[in-house]
Structure formats: C-alpha cells, structure tokens
Amino acid sequence: MMGAMTDLIPLNRVHLPADAQANIERARRAGRLASGGHFGQACEAWLERQVGCRRALLTGACTHALEMCALLLELQPGDEVIMPSFTFVSTANAFALHGARPVFVDIRPDTLNIDPARIAEAITARTRAIVVVHYAGVACDMDPILALAERHGIPLIEDNAHGLYGEWRGQPLGSFGALATLSFHETKNIACGEGGALLINDPAFVERAHVLRDKGTNRQKFLAGRVAAYTWVDVGSSYGLPELLAAVLLAALEEGPSIQRSRQRVWQTYRRELAGWCAAHRVDMQHIPEGARPPAHLFCLLLPSAERRAAFIRTLREDAIEAAFHYLPLEGSPMAARLGAQRPTCRVSADVSARLVRLPLYAHMAPDDLTRVVDAVRRIDW
C-alpha cells in the first residue's frame, strides 16, 4: 500500500487552457461581457466547422440546450419523450420541466447505449421525440435509430454531452439529430466551467432558437438590421453564455487537438494494458462497435458484481486513486416515481449501474500517474 504522502490521483482534473487568461483580458478590453460577443461568435463558428451542423448556439449549459429542445418541439403535457434510463438527470429533467413525460428504455449490455429494439417497442401515438445519449462518446447504433425516427416522423435529439470529437462512420456525433447538445462543464473534455451548446441540423429550428435564447425577443433580427426595434415575440429565457466564459471556451476549443491527443493516450493505454487483467478476472470493457470513434471522454470497466466493485473502489482508494461509479438509473429515481413511473423495467441499466466503475482520465495526466493506476488495477486479484 502507498503511504499517506502519495498524492491522490483524481477521477478528473480541470484543465485551464494556456490562452484563457489572455483571451479574458482581450474580452475585458473589448468592453463586452454579455453573450453574443466576439469570442461567443468565434466559438459558434468553430463548432459549426467541427461538427458540420447548420448552426451552433452557445448556452449556459447543456441542460439549457436540452430545455431549448423541449421548447423548440413545443411539447405539451402528456407528450412522451423516449430516452435511456442510464443517463444524467438533465436528459430527462429538461423535458419534464416543460410538461413532457420521459419514457425510459433500456440500454445494450455491450455498448451501454440505448437499445434500438427497446425504442421501437416504446413508440406510441404520443411520442414527440427520441433522445439518444452517446455514452462515453461511443456512438449509438445510429442506422436503426435514424430509420425509426424517419419512419414515424419523430424528431431525433442527440444529448452529445460526452461526444464532441466522437464519430460514427466518419461523421461527427451531433450531426445526426434534428437537434443535438454539447456540454462544456468542467468534467467534459472541452470545458469552460459551465457551458453548453445547441447544435441545429434542421434549418426550420434556427430562427426560433435565437428567439428562445434571447428572452423571447427578436433581438437577433434587430442586430441583423431586419427590424427597426426588437420586441417580445415568443416565450424564451436567458440561455446565452457570457463572453468571459466564451473567451475561456475558445482557448479550450483551439487547444482541442492537444487535449484530445493527451486523453487518447490515457484511454488507449487503459484499453491495452488492462485487457489481460480484465480477461482473467471476468471484467468487461465497454464494447466499441465498428464505425464508432469515441473521443476518450471516460474509461469504464464492468466488474462481475456490485461487491467486487465496492472492493475495487476501496482498494484503489487505499492506493490514493479515485475511481467512481456513475449514473443511478433515472426510472428508479424519486422524481420518476412522482411522474408516475411504474416498477423499474430497465434491467440492463440497473445491472450496469451496479457494476460500472470509471478510472481517472484527464488531459496531461502524468505518465507516472497513469502507470500507477494501471499497476494498482493489475494488483487486484480474486
């Protein structure tokens, strides 16, 4: 066991981009600190190029971008939105907040992504949207999902909080759904503390998305010189990202290739160096389907039981390494019960939630620390 002097290797370590300070200073001197300034526009142009979406709109959080999706679809009480049970709260909350009923469906035990067969079973006359989450940035099985959405005329939304830089058959994640969202929360690959983006692929949503982000006003039209004054034209909120955060975000986006190289090195090392140990200990890695190119967002293992996982986390903790479980299935949550959820039916989600563990993964992880994690895992035996 390592001594008390050993520094803790955390699950995540926030990386402040080198140019953040200089960008903040430039924004301060430009004298515009609200959303929609030079840095905000530069981030949006960068995202449009990277993802290939029609429009990217920065928001204060991925949660806000998901709320904008609910507003754009004009969801009514009683409308149903299909989504995985194994996801972050915001995926469901954003739609529940606007009166829709989340319909939770199960994930696949190999990719940990929503199971297209379960989506098909869950579609009813009230289904207004299908929300997919590319867990760890590993692409969902997009072909059957796109076919289902198309056949039933149901808009597809990608909660792509994990998946900037991820791909499916060479096409960027976030470019498949009518709408998609990104997160720049400090736990994500590219971060500015708190932040997000709405990615719009269906051009029919562009104009209203601006209005929703701008407190329900047509201010965007005014700025473009298309109306003489701006006024209240719809509902909305204040969903923009302040300029100082956009200044930090642009620095992070421009550092993206180096952040990604660094994270990929950690992720690939875990895949390679832990493969033998996993095979010998009945531990599974997340299956990466052919065609999926994940962005090294998180690295997880599926241990044989909840007891093994508890012992695994405890043992690494004694070695000053932080490992962590992840989502509790949403269908078993108190809020889902209040919304009328019946007895949980997503058995794979419950099983995965009880056995999954994440290992430390962040940009610029010291090579010695990476070796320490690999060695500590390989020392665990049963």
Ligand X SMILES: *Cc1c(COP(=O)(O)O)cnc(C)c1O
Chain residues in the site for ligand X (CB under 6 A) = 61-63, 87-88, 90-91, 133, 159, 161-162, 183, 185, 196
Nearer to ligand X, 90 or 349 (CB): 90
**213 in Cβ contact with 239 (< 8 Å):** yes
Report, in Å, the least distance between residue 225 CB and ligand X. 33
Q: Write out the two tokens for 259.
A: 């952040």
Report, in Å, the least distance between residue 183 CB and ligand X. 3
Nearer to ligand X, 61 or 252 (CB): 61
Nearer to ligand X, 156 or 283 (CB): 156
User: Distance between terminal CA atoms of the chain?
Assistant: 17
Report, in Å, the least distance between residue 187 CB and ligand X. 6
Nearer to ligand X, 35 or 91 (CB): 91
Q: Write out the two tokens for 223.
A: 């700025």
Report, in Å, the least distance between residue 102 CB and ligand X. 13
Nearer to ligand X, 23 or 183 (CB): 183
Nearer to ligand X, 139 or 274 (CB): 139
Nearer to ligand X, 87 or 220 (CB): 87
Nearer to ligand X, 320 or 356 (CB): 356
Report, in Å, the least distance between residue 314 CB and ligand X. 26
Nearer to ligand X, 55 or 162 (CB): 162
Report, in Å, the least distance between residue 151 CB and ligand X. 26
Report, in Å, the least distance between residue 231 CB and ligand X. 30
Look at residues 99, 101, 74, 72 and name the one whose alpha carbon lies nearest to residue 178. Answer: 72
Report, in Å, the least distance between residue 163 CB and ligand X. 9
Q: Write out the two tokens for 291.
A: 């065609």
Report, in Å, the least distance between residue 113 CB and ligand X. 11
Kindly list the distances between the CA atom of residue 292 and the CA atoms of 168, 296, 377, in Å, as whole numbers in the listed order. Answer: 5, 12, 26
